[in-house]
Amino acid sequence: MQISSRFTIAVHVLICIETFKNDYKVTSDFLASSVNVNPVVIRRLLQQLKKAGIVSVTRGSGGTGIEKPLEEITLFDIYGAVECVEDSGLFHFHEHPNQLCPVGKNIHSILDTRLEQIQKAMEQEMKSITVQDVIDDAQKLIS
């Protein structure tokens, strides 16, 4: 089980945009230097965040800004915007359980509902944490 690193990179990017907005032009190159990834990765993420209405992006060296109040953006909003999880869900099943085994034959029936319950609980918790909460935590560490 693993959520794509796009999620944590997107949170990192939003913290950087907010932290440096008054001191630097926050471009994809600038953000890429903080995340330590190729700027193309950042540009793709910014487009996803823009499509979700979370950021604005000015082409060229215009920079990036956050479009909504930070207390209105949740971790779940970011999670949804950057498509961290495949449509099949957070948990990935092994491809071919043995259908001749009573456990293998029934593993989906045994686990599907429980795993869906776990994913919903995680997503509900993500809805309760805002970008402002995360930035407040960051400010304590980077100030």
- The pLDDT confidence band at residue 86, using thresholds 50, 70 and 90, is low
Q: Which helix (H) or strand (E) holds 58?
A: strand 55-58
Local structure of 66: helix, strand or coil? strand
What is the mean pLDDT of the segment spanning 125-141? 96
Q: How many CB atoms lie within 10 A of CB 10?
A: 27
Which position has the higher pLDDT, 121 or 92? 121
Q: What average pLDDT score do residues 83-104 get?
A: 82
Q: How many structural domains compose the chain?
A: 1
Q: Tell me what the mean pLDDT of segment 49-73 comes to.
A: 93
Work out the percent of the chain whose per-residue pLDDT is above 70. 97
Phi, psi of 63, rounded to the nearest 5 degrees:
100, 180
* Amino acid letter, residue 4: S
Answer whether residue 85 shows pLDDT above 80: no
CATH classification at residue 110: 1.10.10.10
pLDDT band, very low/low/confident/very high, at 2 (cuts 50, 70, 90):
low
What is the rounded average pLDDT for all residues in the chain? Answer: 91
pTM: 0.86
Q: Locate tokens 């776990």: which residue?
A: 118
> What integer is the mean pLDDT of 83-110?
84
> Which pLDDT does position 24 carry in this prediction?
92
Cα-only R_g, the chain: 19
pLDDT above 80: residue 89? no
Is 128 in contact with 71 (CB distance < 8 Å)? no
**Percent of residues, the chain, with pLDDT higher than 90:** 76
Range of the domain at 68: 5-142
